[in-house]
Protein backbone atom coordinates (compact mmCIF):
# COMPACT_ATOMS: atom_id res chain seq x y z
CA UNK A 1 0.00 0.00 0.00
CA UNK A 2 1.21 3.47 -0.77
CA UNK A 3 -0.01 7.04 -0.65
CA UNK A 4 -0.82 8.53 -4.03
CA UNK A 5 0.18 12.16 -3.56
CA UNK A 6 -1.65 13.30 -6.70
CA UNK A 7 -5.04 12.12 -5.48
CA UNK A 8 -4.17 12.20 -1.75
CA UNK A 9 -5.47 8.70 -1.12
CA UNK A 10 -3.96 5.33 -0.30
CA UNK A 11 -3.74 2.71 -3.02
CA UNK A 12 -3.10 -1.02 -2.76
CA UNK A 13 -1.77 -3.69 -5.08
CA UNK A 14 -3.94 -6.81 -4.97
CA UNK A 15 -1.53 -9.22 -6.60
CA UNK A 16 -3.83 -12.24 -6.19
CA UNK A 17 -6.41 -10.49 -8.35
CA UNK A 18 -3.95 -8.83 -10.70
CA UNK A 19 -5.24 -5.38 -9.73
CA UNK A 20 -3.18 -2.32 -8.86
CA UNK A 21 -4.06 1.16 -7.73
CA UNK A 22 -7.10 0.04 -5.73
CA UNK A 23 -8.28 2.93 -3.54
CA UNK A 24 -8.30 2.23 0.20
CA UNK A 25 -10.34 4.42 2.55
CA UNK A 26 -8.68 6.46 5.28
CA UNK A 27 -10.80 4.64 7.86
CA UNK A 28 -9.37 1.28 6.80
CA UNK A 29 -5.83 2.63 7.00
CA UNK A 30 -6.45 4.00 10.52
CA UNK A 31 -8.03 0.73 11.70
CA UNK A 32 -5.29 -1.48 10.21
CA UNK A 33 -2.06 0.53 10.42
CA UNK A 34 0.03 -2.59 9.71
CA UNK A 35 -1.10 -2.37 6.09
CA UNK A 36 1.37 0.51 5.70
CA UNK A 37 4.33 -1.61 6.81
CA UNK A 38 3.97 -4.52 4.41
CA UNK A 39 1.89 -7.54 3.64
CA UNK A 40 -0.07 -9.20 6.43
Is 25 within the bounds of a domain? yes
Contact 10, 29 (CB under 8 A): yes
Q: How many Å apart are CA 5 and CA 18, to the nearest integer?
A: 23
Is 16 within the bounds of a domain? yes
User: Which range marks the domain in which residue 6 is found?
Assistant: 2-33
pLDDT in tens, 1-40: 889 999 999 999 888 899 999 999 989 988 988 877 865 5
Is 39 within the bounds of a domain? no
Contact 24, 1 (CB under 8 A): yes
Contact 4, 11 (CB under 8 A): yes
Is 38 within the bounds of a domain? no
pLDDT of residue 40: 55
Q: How many Å apart are CA 18 and CA 7, to the nearest integer?
A: 22
Question: Is the whole-model pTM more than 0.85?
Answer: no
Is 10 within the bounds of a domain? yes
Tally the domains of the chain: 1
Strand partners, 2: 11
Amino acid sequence: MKLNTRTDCYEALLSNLGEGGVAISDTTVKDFEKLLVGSI
